[in-house]
Structure 1
């Protein structure tokens, strides 16, 4: 890997700089302009300290018009802002978009992210009413769930809290719920019992977010899909919107 001189002539300082950039990025280049390719620039950007990234971002910021016209619009239809915020140590509040941009330096370069759907599937991090309203107001739409992997640990209080949050108008989705057979076989029955119980709270206005994962080593997951389908038949309307 490294910069390869294109032709017999060239500015020595330019060649030296190109060689250093190529070594830093780990990319091979056959011409100086190759080092301006987005893949190399992205790697070089990642090498910069956070304070230098902030300096470049503020100095050469794209205008709103440039961002809206240059990059495609997108919606993140499934994420976990509660888990992400804990991992990167930021607060879930009205400044969430600034936090995401700050912690994800390429976010506003690759796409115009217009909205996110965030799944709250851990009762210990369920949002309160105030947070639901705040997130909804900044285009972070919430779904509430009881993840199947935790089926053996949920209490009646957890299920009651789940049901209460589903009544909130800011909650747009039901889930992710379903079956996860990557856990020990002894836990499978508990997942099925929980799923049958919570399906009774599903409303037509909700988008049903399903989680369906087969046992480790099972490539196609046919068994778990058939189990999930058998539970849903006669319980979930054929007209129900599903993600």
Structure 2
């Protein structure tokens, strides 16, 4: 028996949302991607950025961006895959980055929670890709999990980043948020902000000016309440926007308008 899911919170007709980080190439969307994208359009999602995490997914992201007008792409190698990085792969990513709808480099960074690659390898590959992103004149999409201090140190050491960047799926506290903003980066808020135990992230949203925030799903992961534990889709970013509006005591319309403007500015999307 099919159950009815709650509808996303309404977005006012003259405001839209942008999902700045989703993995549309993953198997979770294989059977119904067109339907997922239709739902997103119905929910007021004007653009989705699909993220490269290795060479194969970067290629897939570029193909999706070519196929769908509302989709843009990034390329890069996630820290989980750092062991597999070769000069040939970086050369191919550099070539892919020249595609007309590639708008960022990443996700790249450090992940000390899983440690799928040795930390010293992660650091080397992260630094190399930061330099490559600067050469390619692209904003960077940063993955930082349980590696806050070293992530900030490497960003400072390899900066400045004239095209700026974003700390994807932000997992730090207010102090870290201020350091990220000082680098000229945005803070990206995922559906985790709707979880009851996400007190640190909720405090970050309260204390951070909306001009520094963008929104993401990280789909198919991290679905917001009331979908926690289920597949995340771009349409569900409306729930994240609603929570941000509540935390900041702003209207949903204003949160949508400001975070969309921020995403357009960072990724140089059409206005």
TM bin, normalised by shorter chain, reads: 0.5 to 0.7
Q: Secondary structure at the match of 2:88?
A: helix
Residue 265 of structure 2: aligned partner: none
Cα RMSD for the two superposed structures: 3.3
Deviation at residue 185 of structure 1 after TM alignment:
8.7
Deviation at residue 157 of structure 1 after TM alignment:
2.6
Is 1:88 aligned to 2:29, yes or no?
yes
Deviation at residue 114 of structure 1 after TM alignment:
0.7
Kindly indicate whether the alpha-carbon contact (under 8 Å) linking 2:103 and 2:138 is maintained by their aligned counterparts in 1: yes
Shift of the 192–131 alpha-carbon distance from structure 1 to 2, 3 Å rule, reads same
TM-score by length of 1: 0.56
Deviation at residue 168 of structure 1 after TM alignment:
2.7
Kindly indicate whether the alpha-carbon contact (under 8 Å) linking 1:71 and 1:112 is maintained by their aligned counterparts in 2: no
Deviation at residue 184 of structure 1 after TM alignment:
3.6
Residue 159 of structure 2: aligned partner: 236
Deviation at residue 90 of structure 1 after TM alignment:
4.0
Residue 79 of structure 2: aligned partner: 148
Deviation at residue 141 of structure 1 after TM alignment:
0.8
Residue 104 of structure 2: aligned partner: 173
Q: Tell me the matched-pair count.
A: 162
Residue 49 of structure 2: aligned partner: 117
Deviations 1:160-207 (A, max 9, x none): 211211233321001111111012497111000111112221237422
Deviation at residue 72 of structure 1 after TM alignment:
5.2
Deviation at residue 133 of structure 1 after TM alignment:
5.7
Consecutive unaligned residues of structure 1, counting only runs of 5 or more, are: 1-23, 25-42, 47-66, 215-223
Kindly indicate whether the alpha-carbon contact (under 8 Å) linking 1:132 and 1:170 is maintained by their aligned counterparts in 2: no
Shift of the 124–108 alpha-carbon distance from structure 1 to 2, 3 Å rule, reads closer
TM-score by length of 2: 0.51
Q: Secondary structure at the match of 2:152?
A: helix
Which of the pair has more CA radius of gyration? Answer: 1
Shift of the 116–150 alpha-carbon distance from structure 1 to 2, 3 Å rule, reads same
Q: Say which structure, 1 or 2, has more relative contact order (CA 8 Å, 6+ apart).
A: 2
Residue 182 of structure 2: aligned partner: none
